A and B are shown apart, each in its own frame.
Chain A
Amino acid sequence: MSAKPVKASYRHQGWVAHVFLLPWMLGMILVTAGPLIASAFLAFTDYDLLTAPEFIGFDNFTRMMEDERFWASTRVTALYVVVSVPLQLAFALFLAIILDKGIKGLPLYRSAFYLPSLLGGSVAIAILWRQLFGDAGLINTVLAFFGIEAGSWLQNPDTAPWTLIVLNIWTFGSPMVIFLAGLRQIPDELLEAAQVDGAGRVRRFFSITIPLLTPIIFLNLILQMIGSFQAFTPAHVVSGGSGGPLDSTLFYTLYIYQEGFVNFDMGYAAAMAWVLLVVIAIATGITFIVSRRWVHYGDE
């Protein structure tokens, strides 16, 4: 009985839906799809915002191959992603497991560990980091107390990128919260049954907890990886916008910013943005393909 009037009204929903979707449609065309097409076009042009874009074929891409700074920024970003993401996830998982076993004061600990994630992307924290790792900053003072002379972390190209890696690891709280939610989904009966069967703590962890958690590990890996590829604020603030010393903190996105909005080389910047898109897509794709070997879903 009730199905009929409902179905009758469905006929009108075509246009009604589009009224609801009007803002989204405009946004899709003006803010997303339009710029996406335009940027694909710009990638093949030389454009300085003042004169009309000039079509130059693949020149922007061949220029990248010979551009020292492009490769420097690629190396820094690769180092940043490859080192900080696994370490961040390891910290996140480790602390989630410690917190999961019904500890008193969980909300307090969770907040303490999560807080840096909330603040980590802000300019204020980047400024703090600049001072922490500065010549006479907290880190060096502590090291000096133990008799270690470290020198300047930020002016040394070997150590400068590591300060940003440490900053990213410091924000392990958000993957930790996701891990905590995942750990809660693991049924206690499974762990208890294994215990009855004589499986020890370590055995239970590696044979039950970790396999059941792999979908969550995978989700965190994808999220943090994509986020780290796009990091910008800390590098821009810590290096004063230069990406120095010796381009050692020239994150890929910072180089795009410099070329596009400092040198107004919009075509080159657009081409680089597309390379980033492709690299992120490939990295994500590979992670997905490899995941089939180690991610276990409950229904398998």
Chain B
Amino acid sequence: MSTIDPVMKLDSGLEPVARSPRRHMERRRNLRRHVFLLIFAGLMLYPLVWMVISSFKPSNLILSQTGLIPSEVTLENYSGGWNALGTPFTTFFINSGLIAVGSILGNLFSCSLTAYALARLDFRGNKLYFSLTLLTMMLPFHVLIIPQYILFAELGWINTYAPLLIPKLLASDAVFIFLMVQFIRTIPKELDQAAMLDGAGPFRIFWSVILPLMQPALITTTIFTFIWTWNDYFGPLLYLTKTKLYTVPVALKSLVDTETQSGIGIMFAMSLISLIPILLFFLFAQKYIIKGIATTGIK
């Protein structure tokens, strides 16, 4: 380092000159990419931004004044909308929350039991059951919905949450079984065998070895079950006809049916509020959502 090699000097002297245009071009290309992506993201998100801003405008200004900065800001849409259906939105949020929590618990319970048996236990029919699970994943639910409706109606379950919760308790969301089976297969079998040598039975192994280790799969299941049930419209539309029992999406739809054009602000305000739980989940669980969708395609 002390003696200066003329070649090296030449080299290091040349380098910035030779590289600079290239680096310059790269930087410009990157800048172009950022500009394009920002404009594109802006376009994509603009409808959402429009909804947010409109929800704070008096209804008569929403359509006449489309600029981003409102001349008049009001919270009336929120206060007025909350009770617009006679029943306060608090009720719908509690209903949706109950169904979401129930569905999450049901899925965690039933899918993890099933997945453990399919991934780890050795019994006749294992492969058959697993392929059946894969098949149900591909079955469009419309083929099942009519007999299911008739069955639940016969059982007197219309206007109860049973038709929405019982299927979850019975492992009908096959995607999550699949997700968990795939995950359990990555857990080394030696762990089970070590526990077995210590005298642990399958239940003990499931509870103390597998379940704690499959936490990421359980979290992914929780997140997607929440988002799906929170967004679910078809099920509650079929089974819940009393306003008091409505979930948030069904309440929103009936708000659309009852409101005239003067109530656009209210619709925007309530729609926005209905999305907040999902946005929060997304904010806190992005990593799992991205991973879940990248590995299994569930959205």
Q: Is A270 positioned at the interface, with any CB of B under 8 Å from its CB?
A: yes
Report the nearest B residue to A101, measured CB to CB. Answer: B33
Bound form: Cα–Cα A16–B122 in Å? 10
When distances are taken between beta carbons in the complex, the residues of chain A under 8 Å from B129 are: 21, 24
The answer to whether B196 and A230 have CB atoms under 8 Å apart is no
Q: Give the contact stretch, choosing among B4-12, B38-46, B97-105, B212-220.
A: B38-46
* B156 on interface, CB distance cutoff 8 Å: no
Q: Which residues of A contact B118 (CB under 8 A)?
A: 21
Q: Residue-by-residue, is A218-241 near B (CB-CB < 8 Å gives 1, otherwise 0)?
A: 011001001101101100110010
Residues of A within 8 A of B14 (CB): none
CA distance A181 to B291 in the complex (A): 9
Q: How far is the CB of B234 from chain A (nearest CB, A)?
A: 6
Give the interface SS of chain B, mostly helix, strand, loop or mixed.
helix
**Does B18 reach chain A (CB closer than 8 Å)?**
no
Asked if A32 contacts B142 (CB within 8 A), the reply is no
Interface residues of B in 63-116 (CB under 8 A from A): 63-64, 66, 109-110, 113-114, 116
Name the CB-closest residue of B to A103: B33
Residues in A with CB closer than 8 Å to B196 are 5-6, 9
Assess whether B121 is in contact with A20, with CB atoms less than 8 Å apart: yes
- Residues of B contacting A277 in the complex (Cβ-Cβ under 8 angstroms): 139-140, 142-143
B282 & A115 in contact (Cβ 8 Å cutoff): yes
Interface residue? A280 (CB, 8 A): yes
CA distance A253 to B233 in the complex (A): 13
Name the residue on A nearest B124 (C-beta). Answer: A14
CA distance A123 to B206 in the complex (A): 39
A123 touches B171 (CB 8 A): no
Measured between beta carbons, the chain A residues less than 8 angstroms from B126 are 17
Verify if A291 is at the interface (C-beta below 8 Å from B): no
Q: A261–B275 Cα gap in the complex (Å)?
A: 28
B294 CB to nearest A CB, Å: 4
Query: For residue B257, which residues in chain A have a CB less than 8 angstroms away from its CB?
Result: 240
Q: A174-B293, A236-B233, A276-B143 are in contact. Are A31 and B172 (CB under 8 A)?
A: yes
Q: CB within 8 Å of B: which of A123-167?
A: 123-125, 127-132, 136-138, 141-142
Q: Are B36 and A98 in contact (CB under 8 A)?
A: yes
Interface size on A, residues (CB 8 A): 94
From A22, A127, A237, A260, residue with most partner B Cβ within 10 Å: A127
In the complex, A273→B133 CA distance in Å? Answer: 20
Question: Does B142 lie within 8 Å of A276, measured CB to CB?
Answer: yes
Cα-based distance from A183 to B178 in the complex (angstroms)? 24
Contacts of A245 in B (CB 8 A): none
Supposing A122-B231, A223-B297, A280-B140 touch, asked if A39 and B172 sit within 8 A by C-beta, the answer is no
Q: Say yes or no: B167 contacts A118, CB within 8 Å.
A: no
Is the CB of A38 closer than 8 A to any CB of chain B?
A: yes
3 nearest A-B residue pairs (beta carbon): A27-B170, A124-B271, A181-B294
14 new A-B contacts at CB < 8 Å, known A181-B295, A261-B149, A276-B143? A16-B203, A17-B123, A20-B114, A28-B132, A36-B143, A42-B146, A42-B147, A49-B153, A98-B36, A122-B233, A128-B271, A237-B256, A270-B143, A273-B143
Which of B's residues lie within 8 Å of A, judged by CB? 30, 33-34, 36-37, 40-41, 44-45, 47-48, 50-51, 63-64, 66, 109-110, 113-114, 116-118, 121-124, 126, 129, 132-133, 136, 138-151, 153, 166-167, 169-172, 177, 193, 196-197, 201-203, 206, 227, 231, 233-234, 237-238, 249-250, 252-253, 256-257, 264, 267-268, 271-272, 274-275, 278, 282, 286, 289-290, 293-295, 297, 299
